[in-house]
Amino acid sequence: MQYLKVKENYPDALVFYRIGDFYEMFFDDAKTASRELDLILTGKNAGVKDRVPMCGVPHHAVSGYVQRLVQRGYKIAIVEQMQDPKEAKGIVERDVIRVITPGTVMEEITDEKSSVYLASIEDHPGGYSLALSEVSTGEFIVIDLGKSLSLLIQNLLMFDLLIHHPHLQYYFRIMNGV
């Protein structure tokens, strides 16, 4: 029940749920993590008709797994034990201590040449403006692109992108031959 409550509050994140020395993922999160990280998908009886899909990673190695998922565009919610299991009366209290997204990941970047940019596009009467901010250095760039959608897309192709705009998704699929 505790896991389901967390997942209800973070439906768009893969929930890494700390149990002892492992972070476990369940249900669809487990299927996704298993596929993306080449982990073995197992199952667990959890009082429901079918076995609940699950997989996990050791807590001491979680950074590498999180980094791989974030680089692929996933949002991660890290759930930690908030009390010592030996002192718990009943279920160990757990809570989300951090949410990691491609735009917020910082210390997990081990490659000094990597940058994390947040971008915003404004479609205004004069055309498009692209604003970029590199979050670790504070570098800020604004590019006015006129009304050329192809120039906007050329500028965006320099970056790994998460696109939540249906028209731009369409143009990127065409440009990438999808």
- State the DSSP code for 145: -
Spatial separation of the C-alpha atoms in residues 102 and 135, rounded to whole Å: 11
Beta strand pairing call for 22-26 and 52-58? antiparallel
Both structure tokens of 18: 């700390």
Both structure tokens of 99: 């949410």
Domain ranges of the chain: 2-100, 117-175
Q: What are phi and psi of 45, to 5 degrees?
A: -75, 125
Residue 123 has a pLDDT of 83
pTM above 0.75, yes or no: no
Q: Which among 173, 122, 169 has a CA at the least distance from the CA of 147?
A: 122
Share of the chain above pLDDT 70, in %: 76
Residue 45 has a pLDDT of 75
- Greater confidence (134 vs 99) lies with 99
Q: Quick one: pLDDT band at residue 173, thresholds 50, 70, 90?
A: very low
Q: 2-100: which CATH architecture?
A: 3-Layer(aba) Sandwich (3.40)
- Greater confidence (144 vs 96) lies with 96
